[in-house]
Every structure is written in structure tokens, then in C-alpha cells.
Structure 1
């Protein structure tokens, strides 16, 4: 199947968005209950499910001050988009794996009696010719009604999830979300937003398809310079170059091809960009970024509490990636507890990450173990007014 062009609608910011969607995390959050069956303590519970190209992930959480406390979680590699690049459709095997995972999610939602939910599907279902039929099948067989969100909503939710990690002295922020089937880049100008107001402004941000609203009036000075959804993620990029045997050759081809696909992104074309690097922050959210962080720390067992929010220099990231490209690639991946079936996805994700660092050199990348699920939870709770300290 031919690659589709990057989705980059004209940007505008409008008021508070409707429901949203969060991403992944199976490790207990700070303050989350450990061991035994989680208890909600009578609090209102929220569920957020993200069905992506490679994984099905869900969080069930309760509001806790300015954030939330995880009550239950689920994460499963379902490979929904396997062979989608070649066939253009979701396979029967992939559908079967995914339905089994969604049955588990439906059971958890019922068991916890969750009433406030946001369940979304992304790139694989957007691209597959049988994507709509599959989502109807999901509803029939599991009772779950998944919302097929567009790239603008996907990008917005990823940014919302990262709002707590924005540095107070940053004026320009690039959030990158490397998914299984697509990669979202959102460039924010927050120089005119007071540090104490930035989280609230980002929570209220909405990416619209067309210009025409006043972004400053809608979001307290926050501006979106540009955003893009590149239809290449770790799974789709790997499939496109799977026939190249040599790791370094495949890596170089993936990096070149990804850079070509984001060529229309305004910050990529803008020759004046180096002028803002002194106040520039890059935040990366994805399994690729957290894997690089864990590898840099030498972890043999993943620990979200030390990875989420950590900072990596460009040199440190390049050193880890260079190690991935060596002859001991599978051994290094195995040390991280990552199955060999996912090893090649780490390589394609690393090609995307290193391409972005080459285009926009930065002293530090902020690592975010969070994404669409967290974004959905923050958005729902903010809309309900239950985040007591969300400023």
C-alpha cells in the first residue's frame, strides 16, 4: 500500500475541547494503590482506552488533587496493524487478538462500574479499508463503542498529557509522540503565557483543522506554531523497510524516508529556528523514548518512576542508539526485558527520534511515560472540574 501523505491541516486554537483520549502506562503512578484489588473509595472513576496500531492500553483512574490516581490498568501488544502497510486491511488474526484484549477491558470497566469513559482508536483503523467495519464488530462483541479520532485530536491529547512536564523557562516547546502507525509533532509558542498558567492553557488547547479563530483569545497567549501527523510510526516504518537486512542500512533508509515525510512542517522549513534554541524544550512520549531512557539508565527491569520526567542529552540518546545499531542489538534489547518480536520496532522508533534530534538539536529531551490515555483522563477530569489544583 502506498504511503499516505502527512496529515497537516491548518491550525487554530479554539476553546475547551470535548472528550479526549490518553495513552499508556502499566506501572503504578505515584500514590497509586499497590497490591490486591484496587479500591475506588467511593470516588468517581474514569476510564481511558487507546487502541493503536500496535497496542491496546487502558487506564482506570480517580481524581487526586491536580492529577489522578490509577485504580486499574491494562496493556497488551495486539499488533492490530500487522501487514496493514502491505494489504491495506486489518487481518482476521489481528482482529481476533484485538477483540480478546478489548473483552478484558470491557470486563474491567464493568467490574469497577466506571460510568465516565473515553475509548478511542487511531491510525490503524483510520487507514484500514475495513476499519469502520471492525469498530462496529467491536461494539457488537464487547459492548465498547470506540471513537475513531482524527490526527488533530490524537496530537492534542498527547500534548495535554505532557503539560506537567513543560519547563517554566521554556518559550518554544516541541512535543513528539511516536506511535505504532503515526508520529505527531506539535510546536507550541508559550513565551507569552505565565508559567503558573501554562498547564491550564495547554489543557484548554484544541487543534482545529482550519484557521479562523483567535488563538490568543482562546488560550491565554498560547500559540500553536504548527503541527503535523506523519503516517509513519514504529510498526509502519519497520514494515516499509523490513526487506533490508543490514541494521545500519535499514536505519539510514528509515531516517531519510521519515524526514522526507515531515518536510512540510513549518518549523522544518523555517530558516530562523536556531534563534530560539536557548528557550527551546523537546518532550518525547512513546515506548521508543522510554526505552532509550531505560537503556541509558542501565535498567534491567523497567521502572516508570525513574524514567518518566527524566532528561536526556542528545549525546546520551545517540550513544544508546549507536549501541542498538551494533552487533549486540538483540542482547541489549533483551536486557531491557523487551521481547525480540518488538526489537525491530525499537530500531524504527530510534530512527524517527534521531532524525528529529538531528533537525532540531537540543541540550535535553524530556522523557514522558504518558500519552493519549493520560491526555484523555486529564481532559475529562478538567472538563468535569474535579482537578482541584490544575493550574
Structure 2
């Protein structure tokens, strides 16, 4: 796939945000990562620490930017207005504290929409925020960057999936043998399916709440995954051992919350946990059995996500069918954490180059 914009690198950083977001009079500067997806608008502001970073502010709002996109090929006026209001709230947050560097990206909805670039130009004019459209490959790389700390000694490979609003990203990852701690893994294959929880919910409608409709989605997704498997022999690698299955997205964190019988969702308990896949499969069955009203009342779902949970579960079920593994590592992290990690690493690099090698 051709990149829709210049890929991130320390040597060619994305265009900085407007100077209105730099406020040197409010304490030490932080880093900010903004992700405008098909369903959500999310902001994470963090300060670096010796072991990673500490979150100092955040924002998340369901905006349904991709509503109707699959049918029209364009972002709807009402969807753009919702996203613009959320991004304006993000700009207000950013204006209240010093920001050393801001990375703001848009993903599948803006990649696919004929008016995606025009919408982002409107956002720049209205709020000063400059968002760049990233490729599916960079989306997979950023998810890999954020989840790499969850790999453990003995892992040869990792299969990471991210079930988003407009697409599902699959990353096939190689862990370099004998690598020093902190050495990033290698992305050796990726797949971007234009099948996410929003696109599937719009297309399947009520059918995902029926067994027949649910398994129609599972069959469709599994067909695409099987083609990817034939190229990379992933199932064969799983049988050989040393392959970690990792999932990041609202679908997999919801499954974890249900499997762990949490009275309400708590990120610290979920992020980084490894589930027995049998427990996750049982949680899927429990969610399906709840029906619409039960899902709306469930503390790990809620009314705003009712339409999206079962389509996401169908994608997860397809992944399990094609790549059966005994365990699943759950990550409540993704693009924003990956962007923050990259920005902070790039910010430290010049200081190391200036100091030169130890004598």
C-alpha cells in the first residue's frame, strides 16, 4: 500500500503543531499524541520517565467519523462536525500546558474518504491542529512499538492484531535472536483489512446478534486471514512454539474484562495480562448470550458500544479459528503509546549524539 503521507522518522519529523500549544509558564513540557480514528478521537499527554512515560492528561470521545463512509466514499457532514468538536476540545487541552512535541494522526476513515484531506485542512484552519494521514503499515508499526514491552524471553515471533473502527490490522513480528533488552522487534508482514467494528456494524446491522449472521462475518474474515497465513506460514510457526498472540483494541480488552469478571473495567488490571484463550472464548459466548439490552447494561460495554462489540468479537473469533493459540496477551495500548515512545526516543537521540561515546 502506498503511504498517504510521509512516514515518521527521527530525521524527518512531521510538521509541528501551531505555536499556540506551547505554554512555557505551566511547568515542565510534555509530549502529546492525538489519534483520530474511524470511531474515536483520542488524546494522550505524557511526561518521560526513566522507564517510559507517565500520563498527565487524556481525552477520548466516540465521534463515529466513518459513519456512512462505506456506502458513500465520503465523510458525512454530521460526522465531520462531531470530530471537529472533539478535536477542538483536544486543542483546548493542549493549550493549557507546555507541549514539547505533538504528533497527530488520522487513520482508516481519512485514508479511504475522498474528502479526508479536505476535512483535515478544515481542522487546521479551525483549531491549528495539523493531522497527517498515516498508512496501514505505519499503523501496524506503531501498535507493535507500543506492545513490544509485553514480549517475554523465549518469544521468537508475535502475532499482533488491532481491531479498529474502520479496519483490522494484523502485524507479524520477528523477535531478533539474542537481542539486547530494549531492541525493537521487526515487522516482517502486515495485513490491513477494511473490516472494522463500525464498517461491519453498518453492513451487518442486526444480523451480528444472530448466530447465522455472526458466523457469516467470522467466515468472511477468516478467508482473508487464511490468505495471509499461506504467505507467512504463521500457523506452522505457532505449532513450532515461541509465538505470542497479542491483541489491542476495545474488543479484546472487553473480552478480558468479562473473562476476569471485573465489576467495572480497570485498565491497570487488564493491560499486559495474559489470558487462557479458553477463558476468552467463554467470555465471547457470554457477551453473545447477553443480547442488545444485556450488553448495554454490562459495566465493561455500555450503551455507546452495543453495536460494535459483537462485530469485533466476530473478527476475534476468525483470528482464533485461523491461528489457535493457548494464550492471549491483552494490551490496552496502541497508536498513541507508540507515537509517544517514538517521540521520546527521538528526543533523547540528539543528546546522546552530542555527548559522544564514553571515554
TM-score class, shorter:
0.7 to 0.9
CA shift digits 1:69-112 (9 cap, x unpaired): 11110000001011111221111111111111000100111111
Which structure has the higher relative contact order (CA within 8 Å, separation 6+)?
1
Q: Give 1:65's match in structure 2, choosing from 43, 50, 64.
A: 50
Q: What's the Cα RMSD here?
A: 2.7
TM-score by length of 1: 0.80
CA distance in 2, matches of 1:17, 1:283: 30
CA distance in 1, matches of 2:321, 2:31: 39
Indicate the SS of the match to 2:205: coil
Task: Tell whether 2:101 aligns with 1:101.
Answer: no
Partner of 2:271: 308
What pairs with 1:214-253 in structure 2 (closer than 5 Å)? 222=186, 224-242=187-205, 244=207, 246-253=209-216
CA shift digits 1:318-344 (9 cap, x unpaired): 101111221545314522253324112
Task: Tell whether 2:315 aligns with 1:349.
Answer: no
Partner of 1:336: 299
Partner of 2:41: 56
| Alignment size in residue pairs | 338
CA shift in 2, pair 1:107/1:267, >3 Å: farther
CA shift digits 1:31-60 (9 cap, x unpaired): xxxxxxxxx984331000000000000001
Q: Give 2:184's match in structure 1, choosing from 201, 214, 218.
A: 201
CA shift digits 1:337-376 (9 cap, x unpaired): 5332411211011111111111111111100000000000
What pairs with 1:356-375 in structure 2 (closer than 5 Å)? 356-375=319-338
CA contact (8 A) 1:175 1:185 kept: yes
CA distance in 1, matches of 2:311, 2:155: 29
Partner of 2:355: none
Unmatched segments (≥5 aa) in structure 2: 15-24, 352-359
CA shift in 2, pair 1:254/1:360, >3 Å: same
Indicate the SS of the match to 1:118: strand
Task: Tell whether 2:12 aligns with 1:47.
Answer: no
CA contact (8 A) 1:268 1:359 kept: no
TM-score by length of 2: 0.87
Q: Give 1:122's match in structure 2, choosing from 107, 112, 128.
A: 107
CA distance in 2, matches of 1:65, 1:369: 21
CA distance in 2, matches of 1:280, 1:373: 25
Indicate the SS of the match to 1:176: strand
CA distance in 2, matches of 1:178, 1:245: 16
CA contact (8 A) 2:218 2:314 kept: yes
CA contact (8 A) 2:29 2:97 kept: no
> What is the CA-CA distance between 1:182 and the residue it aligns to?
0.9
Bigger fraction of residues in helix: 2
Indicate the SS of the match to 1:81: coil
CA contact (8 A) 2:208 2:311 kept: no
Unmatched segments (≥5 aa) in structure 1: 1-6, 21-39, 203-221
Of 109-118 and 275-284, the range deviating more from structure 2: 275-284
Task: Tell whether 2:254 aligns with 1:291.
Answer: yes
CA distance in 1, matches of 2:43, 2:119: 19
CA shift in 2, pair 1:346/1:193, >3 Å: farther
> What is the CA-CA distance between 1:262 and the residue it aligns to?
3.3
